[in-house]
Amino acid sequence: MRRLLTATATLLIVVAGLAASSYSATATAAEGAEGPVRVAITGLSPIAPGPNSTIIVTGNLSNTGFDDLSLVSVRLSLSSAPLPDRRAIRQAVEGSGDITDYALFATETLVAKTLRAGGTDRFEIRVKAADLLLPTPGIYALSVEAVGTGPAGYDTVGVAHTALPWLPDPTTPVKLSWLWPFATWPGQTANGVFLGDLLPRELDRGGRLESILDAAATAPDLVTWVVDPQLLQSAADLQSGYLVEEEGQIRPGTQQGAARRWLADFRTATSEVERPRGRAPRQAPALWTLPYADIDADAVERAKLDGDVIRAVTSAPAVTRESLGRPAQGTFYWAPGGRISTGTLDVLASSGVEAVIMRDNALRPFPAVNYTPSGYADLDTRFGTVRALLLDSSLLDAFNMPQGNRSEIIALRQRVLCELAFVSLESGDEPRYLVTAAGTTRWDPDPLMLRVLLTSLRVAPWTRLVPAGDALALPAPPLSRVAADYDSKARARELDEDYMSKVKHAQEDLTSIRSVVVNPIGISEPISAALLRAESSAWRTRPRAADELLATIQRTIDARMTQLYIVPRDNVTFSGDQGSVPVTVANEFDSSVIVGVTLTGVPAARLAAEPLDQVEIEPGRRASLEVPVRIVGSEPLRVTIQLVDERGRSFGEPAVMILQTTAYSRAALWVVVGAAIILALLVAFDIVRRARGRGRAPRQDTPAEPEAT
């Protein structure tokens, strides 16, 4: 009977409102925009109104028109029924939906007898929740309308929209993990020089990272900290003094103090806190790491550099411990585009990530459901199951709302609170778990929004903030999900193929250095870390900065490779067809190298040369080597001299020399001399023979032929 009376009273109010209202029953954002008064809601309390609450709405009216307005008042309007779904909540806050509402004339409050053009005035509306006669628990569209008299007469002159949660009875709270990422654009070269002063500015007072840390420190145990260890490492480098390169010029940095202060504050906020005697210490808040430099795992895996992904994941815990003096709970991979390819997921699973962070629309429920499912799933890989934490798409969209002033922050807060309240009403007795965060690890939220929303979520009875690690202990989800295709659009957002081919070339050069230097760690590790920074997903949005960083790394590698080289020398001439080619190799590394030497003729058939076995050359020394060779032919022979590592792979640039032999020239001379001697002997023999022939008389005793009878 009571419900019937309530519904009847509500119907009567709706009818009366429809009859008395001087404007259409559907209030839209367009109507509000057409009015000369901008209505801004800057306060709405309490967070969770109950039957005995007094709802207070405060804000400002600004006359943006050209005419003065008289007898300007404000009043509330309310939807006649709860909003049907979460999409309608977004529309209600934006004022974009076709929502039937009615004016609450009893709430009409005079703001100004005259609101002059360009003028501003504040308003406050108070109404008892019981007087709203809300029929059922749910989320209601709430608007503040400004009415007044202008040149066109008495009319609605402006409107602002929001939403009101109404949950008078207890519900099962929605468990919510709010991920707070700490990451930056890792523009630091292999030599430790920072490309620009972006990071120092982010760490300084009022900077992006300082503002996020300051807000998180007010309630460190309510959020899940997700930090890029590269950020911690770079902050430590900054506090010890640093260099900045801008427009080709290198100068000393000046914000060591800001980095030192930020890193100390981060350590304090994420550590265990001692409490007065008799009280247990506050536990250290949940701290997780990203892979080093927030690597773009999809692009790196596509370039067949799986080892870099594994190294970024496995090195993260050690870098974090070194920077903070405490371990992280594990490593999350945050998919930069919200989804992950199958191959990348296999690599991540093999590296040991505890979870991957994706968007819920990348893993849609199958079959589809008409409620909000919990935001986690299990993904099968070749290396076992990996848990996915799924960012709620609607809450993610809410974080993309404008945050430029207090009224926009209140709109964002109301949307988040109302959506969580809606999910709480959906769940019934089944507890629901959701994950929320901004859409990028390099988010730039308004600090006031963070504080306002943290405070509101702390007190809202229909939600409870929990660490993201809780999701890893949850049983396998009962809901099946189907992965969306990792399509060409997703691939187009990766670091592009041309860029990754340059990274791969740099990695190959670095491998060459490792292959010849006896103790390469001091040389290769800074370059290797810089290349991981060049593979960061941060560069998806700043390709020019990525190119600049990679170019500086390649120049460093090239300079290193020139520290081991063949000393040029003059051409060599052999007296025979065999000999030894002298080769001098200089080692300017600070460590010994082991290197071999090969010689190749052009054409190769004219030279037979045995490669030298691996030779160790001490740091800062030159080694004089000799390579036995055999030359075929008398023409000058072009020979390429190449340094090789223990596997026969070429190192550095080859040297060129010309080899020549005089052996064939001497042989030809002897042939000519021999031929001349033989010719001379033949000529002499002929002369003698002729001379002897001339000295003999003709014979006369030859008998005559007998005459015929």
What does the radius of gyration of the chain's CA atoms come to, in whole angstroms?
42
* Whether 556 and 587 share a structural domain: no
Residues in CB range of 113: below 8 A, 6 or more apart: 70, 71, 72
Q: Each residue of 342-376: pLDDT tens digit?
A: 999 999 999 999 999 999 999 999 999 999 999 99
| Residue ending a domain, choose from 150, 166, 182 | 166
Specify the DSSP class assigned to residue 404: S
Distance CA 97, CA 136 (A): 21
678 pLDDT tier (thresholds 50, 70, 90): low
Residues in CB range of 43: below 8 A, 6 or more apart: 56, 57, 58, 59, 410
* Whether 467 and 518 share a structural domain: no
Q: Using the CB atoms, write b or e for 327-351: b if 16+ within 10 Å.
A: ebbbbbbbbbbbbbbebbbbbbbbb
| Residue ending a domain, choose from 166, 199, 231 | 166
* Residue 13: predicted pLDDT: 37
Residue 201 sits in a domain whose CATH number is: 3.20.110.10
pLDDT for 699 beyond 60: no
**DSSP element (H, E) containing 512:** helix 497-516
526 pLDDT tier (thresholds 50, 70, 90): very high
Q: Each residue of 159-196: pLDDT tens digit?
A: 999 999 999 999 999 999 999 999 999 999 999 999 99
Q: Each residue of 381-400: pLDDT tens digit?
A: 999 999 999 999 999 999 99
3-state helix, strand, coil in the chain (%, to 5): 35, 30, 30
* Whether 556 and 570 share a structural domain: no
* Domains contained in the chain, number: 4
16 pLDDT tier (thresholds 50, 70, 90): very low
* Residue 682: predicted pLDDT: 66
Distance CA 338, CA 341 (A): 11
Conformational region of residue 645, where left means phi above 0, alpha means psi within -120 to 50, and beta covers everything else: beta
* Whether 315 and 294 share a structural domain: yes
77-81, 249-253, 429-433: least confident range? 429-433
Tokens representing residue 303 in the block: 């370039």
* Whether 327 and 476 share a structural domain: yes
Q: Which amino acid makes up residue 24?
A: S
* Residue 666: predicted pLDDT: 46
**DSSP element (H, E) containing 666:** helix 663-694
Give the alpha-carbon dihedral of 670, 671, 676, 681, to 10 degrees. 100
CA distances from 689 to 59, 681, 692, 693, 694 (A): 140, 12, 5, 6, 9
* Residue 691: predicted pLDDT: 65
Q: Is residue 518 part of a domain?
A: yes
Verify cis geometry, omega within 30 degrees of 0, for the bond prior to 603.
Answer: yes
pLDDT for 26 beyond 50: no
Residues in CB range of 465: below 8 A, 6 or more apart: 176, 177, 178, 222, 223, 457, 458
- The sign one gets for the Cα dihedral 82, 88, 94, 99 is negative
| 685 CB-side CA count, 13 A | 6
* Whether 338 and 477 share a structural domain: yes
Q: Is residue 674 part of a domain?
A: no
* Residue 373: predicted pLDDT: 94
CA distances from 4 to 14, 53, 135 (A): 15, 23, 10
Q: Each residue of 97-140: pLDDT tens digit?
A: 788 889 999 999 999 999 999 999 999 999 999 999 999 999 99
| Residue ending a domain, choose from 492, 515, 537 | 492
> To which residue do tokens 């000519």 refer?
672
Distance CA 95, CA 145 (A): 12
Q: Is residue 659 part of a domain?
A: yes
Residue 563 or residue 4, greater confidence: 563
What is the three-class DSSP state of 175? Answer: strand
* Residue 570: predicted pLDDT: 84
**DSSP element (H, E) containing 650:** strand 650-661
Contact 56, 123 (CB under 8 A): no
471-480, 604-613, 663-672: least confident range? 663-672
Q: Each residue of 142-157: pLDDT tens digit?
A: 999 999 999 989 999 9
Distance CA 468, CA 470 (A): 5
Closest CA to 607 of 568, 642, 578: 578
What is the three-class DSSP state of 273? Answer: strand
214-218, 270-274, 276-280, 303-307: least confident range? 276-280
Contact 441, 226 (CB under 8 A): yes
* Whether 149 and 232 share a structural domain: no
15-24, 202-211, 378-387: least confident range? 15-24
Distance CA 644, CA 524 (A): 18
* Residue 24: predicted pLDDT: 34
Residue 609 sits in a domain whose CATH number is: 2.60.40.10
* Whether 392 and 487 share a structural domain: yes
Q: Supply the angle between the helices 208-216 and 256-269 in degrees, to the nearest 10.
A: 20
Q: Is residue 703 part of a domain?
A: no
Neighbours of 104 (CB within 10 A): 20
Percentage of the residues of the chain whose pLDDT score is greater than 70: 87
Q: Using the CB atoms, write b or e for 606-635: b if 16+ within 10 Å.
A: bbebeebeeeebeeeeebebebebebeeee
DSSP string, 109-147: EEEEEEE-TT-EEEEEEEEEGGGG---SSEEEEEEEEEE
pLDDT for 33 beyond 90: no
Mean pLDDT over each residue of the chain, to the nearest integer? 89
* Residue 21: predicted pLDDT: 36
pLDDT for 7 beyond 50: no
> What is the DSSP pairing of strand 355-359 with strand 332-334?
parallel
Tokens representing residue 567 in the block: 């000393």
Specify the DSSP class assigned to residue 97: S
Distance CA 37, CA 566 (A): 80
* Residue 248: predicted pLDDT: 85
Domain with 578, as residue range(s), is: 564-663
* Residue 688: predicted pLDDT: 61
* Whether 205 and 147 share a structural domain: no
pLDDT for 553 beyond 80: yes
Q: Using the CB atoms, write b or e for 126-157: b if 16+ within 10 Å.
A: ebebeebbbbeebbbbbbbbbbbebeeeeebb
Distance CA 162, CA 563 (A): 67
* Whether 205 and 320 share a structural domain: yes
Closest CA to 313 of 363, 258, 356: 356
DSSP string, 541-604: S-HHHHHHHHHHHHHHHHHHHTTEEEEP---EEESSSEEEEEEEEEE-SSS-EEEEEEEEEESG
Tokens representing residue 454 in the block: 């943290």
Specify the DSSP class assigned to residue 537: G
Give the alpha-carbon dihedral of 560, 561, 567, 570, to 10 degrees. -140
Tokens representing residue 209 in the block: 């990272």
- The sign one gets for the Cα dihedral 646, 647, 649, 654 is positive
101-115, strands of its sheet edge to edge: 101-115, 69-79, 138-150, 153-166
Q: Each residue of 282-302: pLDDT tens digit?
A: 678 999 999 999 999 999 999
* Whether 91 and 216 share a structural domain: no
**What is the CA angle 173-178-184, rounded to 5?**
175
Residue 308 or residue 370, greater confidence: 308
pLDDT for 637 beyond 50: yes
pLDDT for 264 beyond 80: yes
Q: Each residue of 319-341: pLDDT tens digit?
A: 999 999 999 999 999 999 999 99
Neighbours of 546 (CB within 10 A): 24
* Whether 192 and 152 share a structural domain: no
Q: Is the whole model's pTM more than 0.75, yes or no?
A: yes
Closest CA to 579 of 587, 567, 571: 571
Percentage of the residues of the chain whose pLDDT score is greater than 90: 79
Q: Is residue 199 part of a domain?
A: yes
681 pLDDT tier (thresholds 50, 70, 90): low
Read off φ and ψ for residue 283, nearest 5 degrees: -65, 150
Neighbours of 695 (CB within 10 A): 6
